Structure 1
Amino acid sequence: MTCTKNLLLLVACLCALQAAHTWSAAPLGFASQGTMGKTGMRLRPALGRSMGGPRRAATRMSGTQTDARDQVLDEIPVAGEGTKTMKRTGTSALLVEESNKNSVLDDVLGALFQVGGKLIFPNDDAVVAVGHLNDLIGDFPLFIPLQQYFFRAGGVYKLSFAPVSQATFYVISDAAAVKHILKENTFSFDKGLLAEILEPILGQGLIPANIETWKARRPVVQPGFHLNWLNRMSITFNECANVLSDKLDKAHEEDEVVDLENLFNSVSLDIIGKAVFNYDFGSVTRESPVIKAAYACLKEAEHRSTFLLPYWNVPVLGSGETSVIPRQREFAMHLKVLNDKLDQMVKEARTLKSEADLEALEKRNYHEMEDPSLLRFLVDLRGGDCDDKQLRDDLMTLLVAGHETTGSLLTWCAFELAQNREEMLKIQKEIDSVVGDGEIEFDHIKQLNATRLALAESLRLYPQPPILLRRALEDTELPLSHGGEDKSTVGADGVMQEKTVKLGKGANVFISVWNLHRNPNLWDEPNKFDPSRWAGRKEPFSDLTSWKGYEPRENPGMYPNEVDADFAYIPFGGGQRKCVGDQFAMMEAVIILSKVLQKFDIQLAVPPEEVGMSTGATIHTRAGLKVRCTPRNK
């Protein structure tokens, strides 16, 4: 055990060293035709219209047939070393990262990478992806190289960063396997690496919580998102969106370009503050130490969730305020500021405790309450008692989960609508018809169908988060979606994939939501922004025996969900550990987007390829979404 720990610490240090000097410019995207990646593969051009590439014939990833789908698989991986190039990819949001020839350090890590894939869980029947660790760390979107491997190796493959199980990962992009993990065997998996990484920040909140804590807290937190409370929150959503609208008005008067990503993140933070804590961050219009601390903690949570090996736990580097790494010292300072504020709010809420059972709390008149917050509900709920630390963990998790996801969803929806004028006009016409010039009321939301489907399509193209982490708590066998034969040809490499993959106890899993949502075996024109795809049934391709396709509900809910799409679409996860705030998040996004488009047209102020992509817990632009918001001519 000591040897394993020491090896992991060694690899963590090597990763930190490698990341420090290798990646500093643009995020890794898709290299031009003829450019080699460090893995020895020839990276493919950008995908589809929304990613900037043309439509091309695509090789299916199971079977041998070839279809015209909006997926690019026409560049077959070849062996060889990389040369360095830099280019933009048409109208894509991605910038292309070039690759150097491998350093000695990279070769050492690459050797560990390959040996681990063969030695760890050797009888799992999984395809082993071969490459270098440096392909997966650094200042670029992690989901992009994972997609490159997906094209080569199919819906389930294995990556190993060292010959130990703790550094070996299975990347899942197959709907049947995802359904098996999230729905059919929920408690055979925990959050694994994610929980270990985020514990100092989120503690035992619902996202990283172990199964026992989750079972105790989910029945307490989930009822807080009841219909009566959501109705009241629609007023808060409008109030905060009106502040944003005023900001956009002022920017137009002064002929300013605005960073819509920053503004969407700010309004989302303000909403979470009021809805969860009854605290006004006011971040759209001002700055404060608490706001600065909140953003710093959010950024650190993102950083840790995507840096594969936890260098901040290496003993010789120190921890917290004694760390030799400036970033970690600053984080410790900001975390203390935020924890002190959360502790203060919890103590104040407890002094005003008015205990009641769930039925009584659901019938409260939230429209007349001075404090209609979720914190008030959790404190007052009879039988929901917990210590201050657990309550703090619940609140911090809601802050992190509720802020970044909604801000990112709105950002990428605006990015797509700015390039799809007809879709924007369709939404605006609907808003004019349903709402007019007034506030977006609770009863309006389900009538704003075009708005909801545009947001749903944005979550397909830009899932928040793009990767989910799990760890197997027992041996299990993953079913795959491909045909009825025992084996099937998958990937551009033409490798043979078994019908199932065996996961051993302790196996780490990356569910690549990005790959799943853009899988050409599941979706027609998977890289095209097309909200209308959700209006009708999607039949599965004939060679997929384990996926039922997409079936819209007769009475549609707030959004097409994972059940409708048989787990080929999981915008809020799925199964019992699905996001507790999905309805809240979609309502919030519908109202904010509707309030903006009710009054403004959105135009990109830079070419779309300059927007860039980076990722933490969610997908961000590289340097903000620079737009002009022009008042509409009605």
Structure 2
Amino acid sequence: MMSLTFSVSSLHPLYKYKPISTTTLPPKPRFLSIKSSLDDETQKQTSWVSPDWLTSLTRSLSLGRNDDSGIPIASAKLEDVSDLLGGALFLPLFKWMNDYGPIYRLAAGPRNFVIVSDPAIAKHVLKNYGTKYAKGLVAEVSEFLFGSGFAIAEGSLWTARRRAVVPSLHRKYLSVIVERVFCKCAERLVEKLQADALNGNAVNMEEKFSQLTLDVIGLSVFNYNFDSLTTDSPVIDAVYTALKEAEARSTDLLPYWKIDALCKIIPRQIKAAKAVMVIRQTVEELIEKCKKIVEIEGEKINEEEYVNDNDPSILRFLLASREEVSSVQLRDDLLSMLVAGHETTGSVLTWTLYLLSKDSSTLMKAQEEVDRVLQGRPPTYDDIKDLKYLTRCINESLRLYPHPPVGCSAFPS
């Protein structure tokens, strides 16, 4: 996970429409002061001990002594071990990509991973998902959180759940949500940043974007305001705890978390279980509340692009569709949106702003496009097609720093 902190004295030009607050802002500065954990040159501690022997051993266990695939095998050094075992997994994978190229193998105990970063290879895997490839490890280590939700569902279950959810994301819904949710939440973030902008304070934007996207997901999916931009939300802490546990499980040499007895006594597992409980209880309460309202009003979808004017949320649409689905399945699907949706979107915003801050000319072009298209008014859904340069900036951010940075698919045996 990247930590991103910078002075917000130059953030407000990114938002050209008039914010709710009438506070007078200083003239637009032409710089952005930024500090990122990626720029930290601090050297890790070294030792005379090297785990090269471990690499050789696990290579034999995973690949066999006579591996003729021709794919290079990453060699873990001491400085990589802390990141591999519960640390920032992305960093050693990125380093090995530079060392070995866009495709290499990683032998870890009895497991054998093929790591790919080439766009053509990634496209091949994604196009053939469900026939030649499965979600494999990522589903295995995330099931404790997502259950049977479509974030990790496969085959016919994934197809059925996707078919049930996609109709809720129609054009009319998106238009309403952009106006009522996206713009309002963005304005609230601008308000929060104004005091820091006036004082030149540094702000952790990764944290702010995470709060922003949780508020957006809460309102657009559940019609519930977590208000995490202004209050401490236990849901954010729970989400990060659960996601960190999923990443840690992907690098555990032994899957001890599959043993229930151990999960009840190991602090890390106890903390993860409590986090999942917080998330599930929150989602279940929101579902039950909405279900009662739908039943009382006798609501039923009677048009293709249906939106309830008082509650345009995805949850309201799904309940009004009267689909025969268990409460647990609905909970897991919506939990997938809440957890995966807010965390991934927050990451995209963080990386995009990081890259823009590193290139003043690109930032200027993006600002000029926003000025020209919006003309000082809040954006609408129809404006997205005209924000072509900004869209390309976001796409480039996704290309350079896709999220999640680690995806695991498995070859069917």
TM over 0.5: yes
Residue in 2 aligned with 1:146?
A: 93
For 1:155 and 1:420, how far apart are their aligned partners in 2? 26
1:445–1:187 distance in 2 versus 1, CA, 3 Å: same
Residue in 2 aligned with 1:455?
A: 394
1:408–1:237 distance in 2 versus 1, CA, 3 Å: same
- The reply to whether residue 241 of structure 1 matches residue 182 of structure 2 is no
Asked whether the equivalents of residues 224 and 377 of structure 1 are also in contact (C-alpha less than 8 Å), the reply is: yes
* Mean CA deviation greater in 204-213 or 369-378: 204-213
For 2:63 and 2:75, how far apart are their aligned partners in 1? 10
Partner SS for 1:188: coil
For 1:421 and 1:451, how far apart are their aligned partners in 2? 14
Residue in 1 aligned with 2:47?
A: 101
For 2:65 and 2:329, how far apart are their aligned partners in 1? 37
For 2:329 and 2:242, how far apart are their aligned partners in 1? 21
Residue-by-residue CA offset, 1:68-98 (whole Å, 9 max, x unaligned) = xxxxxxxxxxxxxxxxxxxxx9996354543
Residue-by-residue CA offset, 1:552-610 (whole Å, 9 max, x unaligned) = xxxxxxxxxxxxxxxxxxxxxxxxxxxxxxxxxxxxxxxxxxxxxxxxxxxxxxxxxxx
Q: CA deviation at 1:411?
A: 1.4
- The reply to whether residue 158 of structure 1 matches residue 105 of structure 2 is yes
Residue in 2 aligned with 1:302?
A: 244
Residue-by-residue CA offset, 1:226-271 (whole Å, 9 max, x unaligned) = 1111111101100111111111123234553322221111111000
Q: How does 1:400-419 map to 2 (within 5 A)?
A: 400-419=339-358
Alignment counterpart, residue 269 of structure 2, candidates 320, 328, 337: 328
For 2:341 and 2:36, how far apart are their aligned partners in 1? 33
For 1:264 and 1:179, how far apart are their aligned partners in 2? 29
* Mean CA deviation greater in 207-216 or 172-181: 172-181
Q: CA deviation at 1:449?
A: 1.8
Q: How does 1:324-473 map to 2 (within 5 A)?
A: 324-325=266-267, 327-351=268-292, 352-353=294-295, 354=298, 356=300, 360-366=302-308, 369-382=309-322, 384-473=323-412
Root-mean-square deviation (Å): 2.9
Residue in 1 aligned with 2:234?
A: 292
Residue 248 of structure 1 aligns to which amino acid in structure 2? L
For 1:200 and 1:185, how far apart are their aligned partners in 2? 22
For 2:372 and 2:251, how far apart are their aligned partners in 1? 49
1:472–1:372 distance in 2 versus 1, CA, 3 Å: same
For 1:265 and 1:427, how far apart are their aligned partners in 2? 22
Partner SS for 2:106: strand
Partner SS for 2:324: coil
Partner SS for 1:113: helix
For 1:428 and 1:419, how far apart are their aligned partners in 2? 15
For 1:316 and 1:175, how far apart are their aligned partners in 2? 39
Partner SS for 1:128: coil
More strand by share: 1
Residue-by-residue CA offset, 1:460-516 (whole Å, 9 max, x unaligned) = 22211112111111xxxxxxxxxxxxxxxxxxxxxxxxxxxxxxx2xxxxxxxxxxx
Asked whether the equivalents of residues 171 and 305 of structure 2 are also in contact (C-alpha less than 8 Å), the reply is: no
TM score, norm. by length of structure 1:
0.54
Residue-by-residue CA offset, 1:86-112 (whole Å, 9 max, x unaligned) = xxx9996354543523548x4663343
For 2:120 and 2:392, how far apart are their aligned partners in 1? 24
1:124–1:385 distance in 2 versus 1, CA, 3 Å: farther
Q: CA deviation at 1:315?
A: 3.3
1:387–1:299 distance in 2 versus 1, CA, 3 Å: same
Residue 240 of structure 1 aligns to which amino acid in structure 2? C
Q: How does 1:207-606 map to 2 (within 5 A)?
A: 207-235=151-179, 236-287=181-232, 291-306=233-248, 307-309=250-252, 311=255, 313=257, 315=259, 318-319=262-263, 322-325=264-267, 327-351=268-292, 352-353=294-295, 354=298, 356=300, 360-366=302-308, 369-382=309-322, 384-473=323-412, 505=413
Partner SS for 2:131: helix
Residue 192 of structure 1 aligns to which amino acid in structure 2? G
1:126–1:379 distance in 2 versus 1, CA, 3 Å: same
For 1:412 and 1:394, how far apart are their aligned partners in 2? 27
1:102–1:187 distance in 2 versus 1, CA, 3 Å: farther
Asked whether the equivalents of residues 158 and 169 of structure 1 are also in contact (C-alpha less than 8 Å), the reply is: yes
1:469–1:347 distance in 2 versus 1, CA, 3 Å: same
For 2:222 and 2:362, how far apart are their aligned partners in 1? 36
Partner SS for 1:403: helix
Asked whether the equivalents of residues 90 and 406 of structure 2 are also in contact (C-alpha less than 8 Å), the reply is: yes
For 2:266 and 2:278, how far apart are their aligned partners in 1? 21
**Structure 1 unpaired stretches of 5+:** 1-25, 28-88, 474-504, 506-634
Asked whether the equivalents of residues 136 and 145 of structure 1 are also in contact (C-alpha less than 8 Å), the reply is: yes
More helix by share: 2
Q: How many residues of Structure 1 are paired with residues of Structure 2 in the alignment?
A: 373
Partner SS for 2:39: coil
1:193–1:442 distance in 2 versus 1, CA, 3 Å: same
1:339–1:147 distance in 2 versus 1, CA, 3 Å: closer
Residue-by-residue CA offset, 1:16-56 (whole Å, 9 max, x unaligned) = xxxxxxxxxx99xxxxxxxxxxxxxxxxxxxxxxxxxxxxx
Partner SS for 2:375: coil
Higher relative contact order, chain-length normalized (CA < 8 Å, sep 6+): 2
Residue 201 of structure 1 aligns to which amino acid in structure 2? L
Asked whether the equivalents of residues 113 and 131 of structure 1 are also in contact (C-alpha less than 8 Å), the reply is: no
1:284–1:316 distance in 2 versus 1, CA, 3 Å: closer
For 1:117 and 1:102, how far apart are their aligned partners in 2? 26
1:99–1:114 distance in 2 versus 1, CA, 3 Å: farther
Q: CA deviation at 1:120?
A: 7.9
1:226–1:154 distance in 2 versus 1, CA, 3 Å: same
Asked whether the equivalents of residues 272 and 403 of structure 1 are also in contact (C-alpha less than 8 Å), the reply is: yes
Residue 130 of structure 1 aligns to which amino acid in structure 2? S
Residue in 2 aligned with 1:577?
A: none
- The reply to whether residue 199 of structure 1 matches residue 138 of structure 2 is no
Q: How does 1:176-187 map to 2 (within 5 A)?
A: 176-187=120-131
